Amino acid sequence: MEPLPADIVPDRVSALVRFLLLKYRTQELTTRAEMLSRVTRECREQFCEIFSETCECLQVVFGVDVREVDPINHTYVLGSTLGLTYDGVGINGRSFPKTGFLVLILSIIFIEGNCVPEEKVWEKLDAVGVSVEIEHSIYGDPRELLTRFLVQELYIEYRRVADSDPARYEFLWGPRAHAETSKMKVLEYLAKINGREPGAFPDLYLDALRDQAVRAQAEIALNMTRASSSVMSGEFSHSE
C-alpha cells in the first residue's frame, strides 16, 4: 500500500472545517457518517486524527464547539464556545464566526490581571498572527472588531486611562461577558487547549474561585430579594 501524500490530512481537515462551518451557519445537526462522506476513502483510517484536528481548529480559531448529542447514532451539534451568544456572522450569514477572536480577547484580559493596556493587547494579538494594521482573512479589521463591535455588544469595556496625557486606553470585560461566561469557564478552556488542569495555573485559579464566590453571593442576594418581594406582594394583596 502506497503511503498517503504528506498534505492529505491537512487538506481533509480543511475540507471538514468548511463543511462544519456550513452546518454551524445553517444550525443543522451532523453525523459521523456524514462527516466520513467528506473524507476520501484513502483517509478513512485517519478519520479520528482528522476529526480531532478539525474540532481543535473550529474551537480555537472560530470559537465553535462540536458536541456529540447522540452517542448511539453519533450525532453532533455545533455551538459557540463558552456559551457566548455573539458570533459576528451578520445577517447574511456569509462571514466567518468571530467568537474565537472574542474568546482570545477575554482570555488575554483575564490572564493579564483583568485590565490590559491597549498596546499590550495589540502586542499579544500580533504574536498569534493577528495584526492591527492588516485585514484578517477571518476576523476582518481587528481594530474595528475589538474597539467598535465588541464594545457595542457590551462584551468589552474600552476606557481611557485616568489622567493619561496623551490619552491611553485599556480593555476590561464588559457586562455581557460577565453575564454569559465566567473566569472559571475561560480558565477551563485555556487549560484544555494547553493539555493541563485549571489548578496548574494557581494565580488564575484563585482569581476564578473568587469570581465564583462573588457570583454565588450575588445569586443568593437576588433570590432573597425575589422572595421578599413575593411575600410583600402577597401581604399587600391580602390587605386590600
Percent of the chain's residues with pLDDT above 90? 71
On the question of a cis peptide bond just before residue 3, with omega within 30 degrees of 0, the verdict is no
The Cβ of residue 188 has, within 10 Å, a number of other Cβ atoms equal to 14
| Grid cell at residue 157 | 469595556
N residues, the chain: 240
Query: Among candidates 206, 103, 200, 204, which has minimal Cα distance to 156?
Result: 103
pTM for the model stands at 0.87
User: Which region, left, alpha or beta, applies to residue 181 given φ > 0 means left and ψ of -120 to 50 means alpha?
Assistant: beta
In tens, the pLDDT along 165-196 reads 899 999 999 999 999 999 999 999 999 999 99
How open is the CA angle 109-114-119, to the nearest 5 degrees?
Answer: 50
CA distance 63 to 101: 7
Under a CB-based contact definition with an 8 Å cutoff, are residues 185 and 84 in contact? no
Provide the 8-state DSSP code for 148: I
In tens, the pLDDT along 80-94 reads 999 999 998 874 556
In tens, the pLDDT along 183-234 reads 999 999 999 999 999 999 999 999 999 999 998 888 787 677 776 666 656 5
Q: How would residue 38 be classed by pLDDT, with cut points 50, 70 and 90?
A: confident
CA distance 191 to 236: 52
| Grid cell at residue 48 | 479520528
